[in-house]
Structure 1
């Protein structure tokens, strides 16, 4: 309900033809003349200085800084997933209000986060008719990945579905969507417990994982799309953690970002892993603990993740938080470096 109210406030805080375009409740409403639109993006450093020795549960993992991202653009916020270019200079994020953000990152000499370029752009996701979503219920984009051949896949919650966008431009979600058929167990997910993670695996199969709902089951529905068919299985949640994103590790494992929140003082952020060879029809996957993110590393409602491997074999793990459009939360972009070892 809170996000619905925010969605309505955003809708009326900016001219319709610029921000939201057609409404299903308005006749002959014009689509935005410019989509995406240029915006101003700013950042500031948060937390301990990058490079400072931070005790983590893995000796091969190093903290590489956190940025708070901000923009005066009224639709900025609510980011639920992120992708990075292979050179780590450009990022693409989606929001649960049906918007996407494309920006550029600058780094310090050691590879840690420095700041963002002020010039960025923000666009609206379009439906299969090439129109914007004017109702939050249809615009709740929660997960993002590269498509097997070209373009990108975006998973939506509430009205559970996967859309494909292929504008021909890297890290761009412009243009009319096409749909990817999904199995019934994903379509029938709880309204607020749908697909939270979608990931193209190295073999070009597509892995999907729902957030699930503790009031329904301790299992999250999951599926793998391979050779035109879906393989259905489940993911076992524990300790009130719920999966929010997924990324490919160099050793073939899949890294799962998990978050828990049961009230003030209960926020938990951690990573677990699963294996591709466990994904079989009817299987129940039990994730293995990888590491936990604790203070003094800044923590918030981390929902999105991407992993980039560089030429030297290091893996750069980016996580972005959903601020829920709340004055007490922030859009945090945090970077971790998983150093090359004989184990990874």
Structure 2
């Protein structure tokens, strides 16, 4: 017969376990550590300019299923804040962690309106990504970092030139955290062309059929007649799928919606077309080994819209349960380009 004391001990144990579980879940989502990112990073002054309308010269805010919430142009005092290529939203959209294409973490606080419209970006800091030996990725020539994603097992970052995926602990609290290691990749991925390697990386929802895996997508292909290559990477191996490529769009980032659908960001950036942006959505059930994905176009924009070299995409849900898409451009650390930060709400 169980005594009252034993019952109290068991109850106390259950409560402790429950609290630990909730903390673990909160940690993965980033809320518990959002205020602790890069506490030893280098602070940078950043000014912002409002982007009030998405379509230049027009006041419309609805673009198919997307509603434009607002945007900002970022003007940083340090060129290391340029080249932003990967992004995750944290703490309900109040903070972000980004990665640059020259091997830097960048984090900051986002002042936002109740509907998610970005009003200002503050407390911006950066730190260099470190290898497993403590040396910077720049010193190791592995710093062409293009995308990042957060999973229950940590942060994962792609390096396009090396066609590698780096594994980092979470959170990046000080900026001194060393790489845990690299994800084992098949030879086909390792041999992707130098400027057409892994550009997009996404973590599927943990309650779906792709749980525990990573989705990686190559940036480009030799022509529109050849599909973009996609990979489902898991502990048991790598499986392949493809994405129809057309109109000279390249893949630059991807993120999953809460229901398991995948959103792919695509970009055009050439003398023929100038600049272009496209967002495509692929149903969760269609992401299968051997599949060829076509997708639904959510958004397409050209130089008549407030875009630049769009390279980073993140998705989060706010307190109302609304799905918010955040888009970020890579200015290539050039005075001729801009870093734009855009937000849309997905309306089903």
Return the TM-score normalized by structure 1: 0.80
Q: 2:178 maps to which residue?
A: 176
Aligned to 1:166: 169
Stretches of structure 1 lacking an aligned partner (at least 5 in a row):
1-33
Which residue in 2 is equivalent to 1:298? 306
> Does 2:242 match 1:238?
no
User: Relative to structure 1, is the Cα distance of residues 35 and 216 closer, same or farther in structure 2, using a 3 angstrom cutoff?
Assistant: farther
Q: Distance in 2 between matches of 1:112 and 1:242?
A: 28
Q: 1:101 to 1:142 in 2, by over 3 A?
A: same
Aligned to 1:225: 233
Query: Alpha carbons of 1:43 and 1:288: their partners in 2 closer, same or farther (altered >3 Å)?
Result: same
Structure 1 stretch displaced more, 276-285 or 222-231: 276-285
Structure number with larger C-alpha Rg: 2
Partner of 2:150: 146
Match of 2:104 in 1: 99
Q: Does 1:321 align with 2:329?
A: yes
Q: For residues 79 and 287 of structure 1, what CA distance do their matches in structure 2 show?
A: 26
Rounded to whole Å, the distance in 2 between the matches of 1:133 and 1:226 is 25
Partner in structure 1 of residue 340 of structure 2: 332
* 1:201 lines up with 2:204 in the alignment: yes
Matches of residues 264-283 of structure 1 in structure 2 within 5 Å? 266-283=274-291
Residue of 62, 73, 79 corresponding to 2:78: 73
Instruction: State yes or no: 1:41 paired with 2:49.
Output: no
Q: Of 116, 122, 128, which residue of structure 1 is paired with 2:121?
A: 116
In structure 1, C-alpha distance between the alignment counterparts of 2:318 and 2:227, rounded to whole Å? 35
Offset of residue 314 of structure 1: 1.3
2:193 maps to 1:190: yes
After TM superposition, the score normalised by the length of structure 2 is: 0.79
Q: How many residues get paired?
A: 302
Higher helix share: 2
Partner of residue 15, structure 2: none
Q: Give the structure 1 partner of residue 208 of structure 2.
A: none
3-state SS of 1:139 partner: coil
Do 1:62 and 1:336's aligned partners in 2 also have CA atoms closer than 8 Å? yes
